[in-house]
Amino acid sequence: MKNLQNILAFLGVFIVFCSWISFSQALQNFVPVGCFKDKLQDRALPDLIINHRISDPVIDWSNLSITVQSCAKAAQDKGYVYFALQFWGECWAGHSGHLTYDKHGPSTHCERGVGKGYTNFVYRNTGVDNECEAPRVLDSEDRAMTYSKKLAPFLCDEHMVPGWYRFKGKAGNAIANTCPAKWSCGTHMAGWMKGSHPQPSQGITDAKVCIHYPEQNNCCVGEEPIKVRNCGRFYVYKLKPAEIGCFSRYCGNGR
């Protein structure tokens, strides 16, 4: 009986500890994007989500990062990836912000991490897993589905470090999204993503990579579960070596 009490007490402390952890991690990371012009009649980020000139916490002129953090939290809670501080205390965001935040061009009218009049100091949320901050890069030309030279030996992702990746440069700007041709992207069994990419506000989503087995003309002989995230102007994918082994590889779209 004493034991049970001890266990219950321990569990209680443990639960309090866990909720403290999740509370202290409630604010996700964000990174500065830059200082950009805005226009009254054509807002680059159209939604005023909180105005710290009048709402709590009102601007603390000795520490503007309190304002920025509060804006970041409000933006994250509402599913915005891009947000900005304008006129020191106005917190602006937009669900298409990744497309529009710089539409009026760059500006120098910012200070201490916030914009002055009609100027946005723009930030980007980096996601719950920090997936949008510094993903590993896959950029070799031979990884593109448009790379048609048959390599010998084939290349393989067997030593890939599990984690978040983005496609870039000659590999393309996203993972291949249609079935690659036989022996393209430098490998025997080309991996490509079935289905479409998510919107930024959807956060991390589940997706499937199909493995193309050319000898059977089978575009989806194996399926590999992956995660995909739209970071605004690029996608990231949570990848690990494919179950099917060598020689298989995740292919870029070559665009």
Applying CB under 6 A, the residues found at the interface with ligand NAG are: 63, 65-66, 69
If the CB atoms of residues 70 and 253 are measured against ligand NAG, the closer one turns out to be: 70
If the CB atoms of residues 6 and 65 are measured against ligand NAG, the closer one turns out to be: 65
If the CB atoms of residues 65 and 217 are measured against ligand NAG, the closer one turns out to be: 65
CA Rg value for the chain = 23
Q: For residue 211, what is the enclosing H or E element?
A: strand 205-213
Residue 76 CB, shortest distance to ligand NAG, in Å, is: 15
Residue 89 CB, shortest distance to ligand NAG, in Å, is: 15
Residue 113 CB, shortest distance to ligand NAG, in Å, is: 11
CB nearest ligand NAG: which residue? 63
Nearest to 251 by CA among 221, 210, 214, 220: 210
If the CB atoms of residues 65 and 201 are measured against ligand NAG, the closer one turns out to be: 65
Residue 146 CB, shortest distance to ligand NAG, in Å, is: 48
Residue 224's contacts (CB-CB under 8 Å, 6 or more residues apart) are 191, 208, 209, 210, 211, 242, 243, 244
Q: For residue 111, what is the enclosing H or E element?
A: strand 110-111
List, edge to edge, every strand of the sheet that includes 218-230: 136-138, 163-167, 235-239, 218-230, 205-213, 189-194, 248-250
Residue 77 CB, shortest distance to ligand NAG, in Å, is: 17
Residue 69 CB, shortest distance to ligand NAG, in Å, is: 6
If the CB atoms of residues 72 and 228 are measured against ligand NAG, the closer one turns out to be: 72
Nearest to 241 by CA among 187, 205, 198: 187
Helix (H, G, I), strand (E, B) or coil at 124: strand
Cβ–Cβ < 8 Å for 166, 131: no
Bridge partners, 249 (sequence order)? 190
If the CB atoms of residues 83 and 247 are measured against ligand NAG, the closer one turns out to be: 83
